[in-house]
Amino acid sequence: MSSFKILSSTRVTRQGGVLHRCQHQSNSTACDMMFAIFLPHSYHESSPTTPALYYLSGLTCNDQNFSQKAGAFLHADAAGLALVLPDTSPRGEAVANDDAYDLGQGAGFYINATQEPWKAHFQMESYIQKELPAVINENFPGINPALKSISGHSMGGHGALTLAFKSKISGETDWKSVSAFAPICHPTACPWGKKAFENYFGSVEIGLAHDATELLKQLAEKSLLYDDILIDQGLDDEFLKEQLCLDDFESTAASVGQTVTIRRHEGMDHSYYFIAACVADHIDFHAKKLK
Amino acid sequence: MSSFKILSSTRVTRQGGVLHRCQHQSNSTACDMMFAIFLPHSYHESSPTTPALYYLSGLTCNDQNFSQKAGAFLHADAAGLALVLPDTSPRGEAVANDDAYDLGQGAGFYINATQEPWKAHFQMESYIQKELPAVINENFPGINPALKSISGHSMGGHGALTLAFKSKISGETDWKSVSAFAPICHPTACPWGKKAFENYFGSVEIGLAHDATELLKQLAEKSLLYDDILIDQGLDDEFLKEQLCLDDFESTAASVGQTVTIRRHEGMDHSYYFIAACVADHIDFHAKKLK
């Protein structure tokens, strides 16, 4: 009955860390989904003790960008942390798409679409919050289902922050910690987010329930704040001012009492060079919370 | 008169290491050439003390593959080592090419071609041995011209080994140390090398003077052996048996007395995952020799 299969397995650290590329038929997105998982050398099938960091990629990316460009495996191996690397959207000929890079395939925005032609497959929120963790736990029994954290880049930073906040508010899933690289912090106030919410939900207003800066207020009202959130941001990032709106998130966090460690880096851009420069600190941040 | 220009500069370590992508008009290859250079945060224009490791890429690659996928910058920054990342061939509409991935643009093999249509531009040996170091030294005065080493992957491993050996034999250039990732060790005995030498030189036999396993014998005759050479090789590398011929190099090295540290890695392939897993050790190997 399970459609899960491992397509390739590659040793990526000298110590014995392995990268598996996997495929499975998703109920949430009604199509085949690819993901990758890095297992540290300390992982053992017989002992469900390995914590996992889920990393959500940005616009145009798939499950491979982080694997190939972040240079994270040696750090994750040393920290004993598994890395789960999902795709950014449903894909395939039967799946709706758009010629623009910021809508449709490669641009799932980690929400459940309610509008045609998107709603049949663009159910990435359900996929990341529920289905993928279940697939991981079933097929990688050395992962501890209770020890998972979430991070992401750009659109995936929006995904990490909002999925973490929403799961705390609903009480359904427990992401132990959350961090982000150059996240879209306030999507209802930026062109990328407005376009996504208009298309996937039919209005920007509905998107308020999927906006990290807005959700932060609910998190505070319910006394569910994280003890810390780590965010890195390059100051030569071409998207910082118009699309990412970090200042909005920072000021709201300050006003509601959410501690956020925001590090702004001169000379760094929006690319994976920036992620590779900072990823070890995110791994350490999450590994500590998952201990 | 100098055509040199920096096209982009990106901070790639938190400490302040910078990646420059550069272009210049090459006399050797008679076309514009791209290269990248990583400068560690310890680099200072006013003090010519920074050693440099030249890294030669493999078939189909350009100056960007290593930058994006090797995850080497943090290690190089910590070691105070600059990384020089050339392209693998001349390029452009005026440059001869072939539809195959293993001949023409992207497949320069680090030799000086003597045959039509290649000889006008395919002069990568002169480019790497003489012209590029001169360009580096002129434009990056914090680099110590006397402190340079060389490494490479696959076709670039062939380039690193042969250029290092040939420069020792000729006494012209001094590469302080040499290492390689999955190098083409015996090109006159493998399909890639035979095809390249037949096309660029007109015969495989002429290629004997550009074959690491053959050059090792000359190096020994002239008592010019390196104190050690580091070679990493994945055992799941699909090219190992037919194209790379590591065993030939190893047995010749043993017979002539060249110490080679060969590390064979179970489960590792020919990709940049393998390079990323091993690159820190190559940086340490060269940094020690360049001290």
Report the CATH number at residue A153.
3.40.50.1820
In B, which residues are within 8 Å of A280 by CB distance?
A: 74
Q: Is A73 in CB contact (< 8 Å) with chain B? A: yes
- What is this structure's pTM? 0.95
In A, which residues are within 8 Å of B9 by CB distance?
A: 267
Nearest CA distance, B125 vs chain A (angstrom): 30
Judged by CB atoms closer than 8 Å, whether chains meet at A11 and B267 is answered as yes
- Partner residue facing B273 (CB), from A12, A268, A276: A12
Q: Which of A26, A154, A177, A179 is catalytic?
A: A154
- Which of B156, B158, B146, B140 lies closest to B19 in space, CA to CA? B140
- Cα–Cα distances in Å, from B157 out to A4, A196, B119, B160, B199? 38, 47, 22, 5, 20
**Are A139 and A36 a contacting pair, CB within 8 Å?**
no
Q: Is A11 in CB contact (< 8 Å) with chain B? A: yes
Domain count of the fold of chain A: 1
Write the pLDDT tens digit of every residue in A14-49: 999 999 999 999 999 999 999 999 999 999 999 999
In A, which residues are within 8 Å of B272 by CB distance?
A: 68
Judged by CB atoms closer than 8 Å, whether chains meet at B69 and A69 is answered as yes
Q: Is A175 in CB contact (< 8 Å) with chain B? A: no
Left (φ > 0), alpha (ψ -120 to 50) or beta: where does B108 sit?
Answer: alpha
Average pLDDT over residues A254-262: 98
Spans in chain B with pLDDT lower than 70: 1
- Cα–Cα distances in Å, from A48 out to A20, B21, B101, B176? 18, 46, 45, 48
Average pLDDT over residues A154-178: 95
Q: Is A237 a catalytic residue?
A: yes
Residue B25 pLDDT: 98
Residue B1 pLDDT: 45
Average pLDDT over residues A166-189: 95
| Interface test mutation site (partner A, options B6, B8, B9, B12, max chain A beta carbons within 10 A) | B12
Chain A to chain B Cβ contacts (< 8 Å)? 85
The arrangement of strands across the sheet holding A5-11 comes to A5-11, A18-26, A31-39, A82-86, A50-56, A143-152
| Interface test mutation site (partner B, options A261, A271, A273, A274, max chain B beta carbons within 10 A) | A273
State the average pLDDT for chain A.
97
Average pLDDT over residues A181-190: 98
| Token code pair at residue B88 | 């693998």
Write the pLDDT tens digit of every residue in A136-147: 999 999 999 999
Instruction: Give dist(CA A230, CA A226) in Å, integer.
Output: 11
Local structure of residue A243 (DSSP, 8 states) = I
Structural domain span for residue A77: 5-290
* Catalytic residue list of B: 154, 237, 270
Average pLDDT over residues A179-208: 98
Residue B172 pLDDT: 85
Average pLDDT over residues A68-87: 98
B23: exposed, middle or buried (Cβ count in 10 Å: 0-12, 13-18, 19+): middle
Residue A173 pLDDT: 75
Residue A121 pLDDT: 98
| Token code pair at residue B63 | 């100056």
- Partner residue facing A277 (CB), from B14, B72, B271: B14
B6: exposed, middle or buried (Cβ count in 10 Å: 0-12, 13-18, 19+): exposed
Residue A1 pLDDT: 45
- Partner residue facing B10 (CB), from A18, A73, A269: A269
